Chains A and B, each alone.
Chain A
């Protein structure tokens, strides 16, 4: 258990005041309009949304996740965190398309791409799902903070879950996305500096870089230094087949929208950028920082491994990076470290509070309930939505026990059946709303069947996560492709409008020719 001195408490309180204060300062900007409360008026230079992407994806549970896989698999475990690579493609494909649509949310984009009843059903569905998912993410990140506080201070889990999320809600309620992005900027800087300092400190305690490498050799664990140490093509804990699946999911996923759960916060940051160019570079740079952060963490986790080899319980080694800091930093620095953990935590909490609220406000209230709402009413609903998400997250957090298990389920399964449709909706003109809606509905059914129900009854063997992904994708395609061809294409007027505004890539030949025929875009060879 940690023992805080006066200096530790000083750091902690000063950081919390700074973080909340920097968010609340933007109260006047945030309350001006719906666009300000949720997109900071679409006027941000690339480095602000970039720092927000980085800060958002540096959550309390992230070092636990990275610690778990790197402790177990060494540097090869870093590939588990390589999903962020979807941004490397998205920055130059789907980010451009989404930014040009001007949709506030992915749900709104669905109703621009797909028309009629299917478009509306999709909008309602995606909005509802996002409200649930953001509450769920808030719960799992919150309970991770509960675990950190239990480890550090012996506090009951609920204290860490509630206290810091509630403090964060102060500036999200006051200033909306303006508060989120401005606080994220300074939280991102604090978090990155502390990640570097703590990791270096931990490495020093383990004998420095060369000491770690030689100790790994002595332990017979030199393979942990090899990022490509696989256990066979299909065999073992870490097969090549898994690696290739991850690359396909991560990299090709960038062609589409909604192919990873991270797309949704990124979509908000894309729309908040002042130009298409700013949007592209913000996504690229923010995710590059995430990748670099993982690399730094990995070295510190290997330091922890040589100090504490042979741990077999996930609950022990998923705290590796936190323990590197708390077991090695001197008195007076512990508060500094904990304050950075609080920064890491509330940057993620603030994003999901505001993101869930935009779906409640823009897609549910403004679209369906009160289309003539004034800007003041919309901001008020945004604040009520924020509060509902906060309260819901406490319920979710209190019923969630094993973070890693839930994360694997969320990352692999909840996106598996809609991964391909998420790409098709961007690159193929003939894919329609009914096909996409079918994919969503059947994915929910298939994912529970494949992962939980059928193996429990012995109908299906226990499959590896990458095998589940391919099976779910195949099962989904067997349903949504026939449905697409059995239902009518979207109306050409809608497709032409969408094409001219967003200029998607891929198989859009008939729509492009129609746009040229109408004189809406220049003709000529492609």
Chain B
């Protein structure tokens, strides 16, 4: 299965898989690179620009890996959302 697959069905996208694992590993790494790379770049230290550059590349990877899957989850869920909201409003009534 390609990591950069775009044609997820909502049912497939609902299950946790390798794309999700990659997202939760890469995502905090990007934050670290923004934090350290950003501060060092402000001080014009060359390592900072390298770290920021790696962070941007990883962000593109993150988008390619997880966004199509998120889009499929959204698509499937929004079809059911109206019914779920009605159910929620009924359930929150204390006296029911």
Contacts and interface: CB of A to CB of B under 8 A. Distances in A.
A102 B71 CA distance: 18
Contacts of B15: 526
Interface string A273-312: 0011110110010011001101110110010000000000
A366 B91 CA distance: 12
Contacts of B14: 503, 521
A408 to B, nearest CB: 20
A198 B16 CA distance: 44
A284 B70 CA distance: 13
A88 B95 CA distance: 39
B38 A92 contact: no
Interface residues of B, number: 41
B42 A296 contact: yes
B61 to A, nearest CB: 14
Interface string A403-439: 0000000000000000000000000000000000000
A209 B42 contact: yes
Contacts of A227: 35-36, 39-40
Contacts, number: 128
Interface of A: 75, 78, 82, 84-85, 88-89, 91-93, 96, 100, 102-103, 108, 111-112, 199, 203, 209-210, 212-213, 225, 227, 251, 254, 275-278, 280-281, 284, 287-288, 291-292, 294-296, 298-299, 302, 362, 366-368, 371-372, 501, 503, 505, 521-522, 526
Contact of B16 (A111, A203, A505): A505
Given A93-B24, A367-B94, A298 B39 contact: yes
Given A227-B36, A292-B34, A302 B24 contact: no
A296 B38 contact: yes
B70 A251 contact: no
Kindly name the residue among A93, A210, A276 whose own CB sees the greatest number of chain B CB atoms within 10 A.
Answer: A276
Nearest to A228: B36
Contacts of B43: 209, 212-213, 225, 299, 302
A302 to B, nearest CB: 7
